[in-house]
Amino acid sequence: MKIPVYTIQKSEGKKIELPLQFGEEVRRDIIQRAVLSEQAAARQQRGSHPEAGKRASAKLSRRRRDYKGSYGLGISRVPRKILSGKGSRWNWRGAVAPGMVGGRRAHPPKSSKVWLQGINSKEEKKAIRSALSATIAREEVMRRGHRVPKEYPFALDTQFEGMKKTQEVMDALEALGFSDELARGSVTKIRAGKGKRRGRRYKQRKSILLVAGEHCDLLRAARNIPGVDSVPVADITAELLAPGAVPGRATLFTEHALKKMEEKRLFL
């Protein structure tokens, strides 16, 4: 399959043959496995202190003749700590047991839990190739909600990699017909629920993905545009191509990136 290559002035210079990586069948199940594997690997381990709730000097006695025991006093047999005493009656406070105030949790989160979800290397590469195929399928891109011009899909001239300012990149994308898509990606919503208190107050849509041949000025200039991601072609992942495991993200490759993908035989 051949796609046109557009310059900064949106003039069609030539057509370029897509590499073999774009000929894979779109497999949503494999893409989902790869994305979940990436998300699981990025998850930070968490857990409570191993001694949390167990550091009280509480005592549990089930012996009938044990001094200061709770036997025969008509109270439940739970670990208790002694606060004061007068005569033969003692003032106790339950502790350590899960049902007590300040006691341990019955089943706390443990930092030793393994969250990783393994995936075969060949399967991961197949997922990336499958997600690449979805980026050039216009119906898949439109189904995902992107607003792309009628000429999509197309590649970008290598001159784009020399852009140093964010405004230059935005003007070039608008000239290519992505004005509605940039407006769609700039909308920020406040999350409903408790996530507002947990460091994820705002929700933002994923917009265009820019792929260059290597680290360049374009990647640094484009990362400030809301919703837009930029990455070298060697660092492509399934989650970047299919955020939320939904394939068909609007993606623009530079001519340099496509040539490097073919020469280095990436993801094959």
List, for residues 142-154, the tens digit of each pLDDT value.
Answer: 999 999 999 999 9
CA distance 243 to 144: 10
CA distances, 174 to each of 26, 155, 163, 239 (Å):
29, 15, 15, 25
Residues of the chain with CATH 3.40.1370.10: 2-41+119-192+202-263
CA distances, 226 to each of 139, 175, 185, 235, 255 (Å):
24, 18, 6, 20, 24
pLDDT computed for residue 104 by the predictor? 93
User: For the ranges 12-26, 32-46, 126-140, 250-264, which has the lowest average pLDDT?
Assistant: 12-26
Residue % of the chain over a pLDDT of 70: 99
User: For the ranges 10-19, 91-100, 160-169, which has the lowest average pLDDT?
Assistant: 10-19
Q: Closest by alpha carbon to 165, among 228, 230, 223?
A: 223
pLDDT computed for residue 70 by the predictor? 81
- In degrees and rounded to multiples of 5, residue 257 shows phi and psi of -65, -40
Q: Does the structure show a pLDDT above 80 at 89?
A: no
Q: Does the structure show a pLDDT above 70 at 13?
A: yes
Arithmetic mean of pLDDT, 19-28: 94
Give the predicted TM-score (pTM) of the model.
0.83
Q: Does the structure show a pLDDT above 70 at 88?
A: no
pLDDT computed for residue 211 by the predictor? 96
pLDDT computed for residue 197 by the predictor? 95
Under CATH, domain 2-41+119-192+202-263 is a member of which superfamily?
Ribosomal protein L4/L1 (3.40.1370.10)
Report which secondary-structure segment, H or E, holds 180.
Answer: helix 179-185
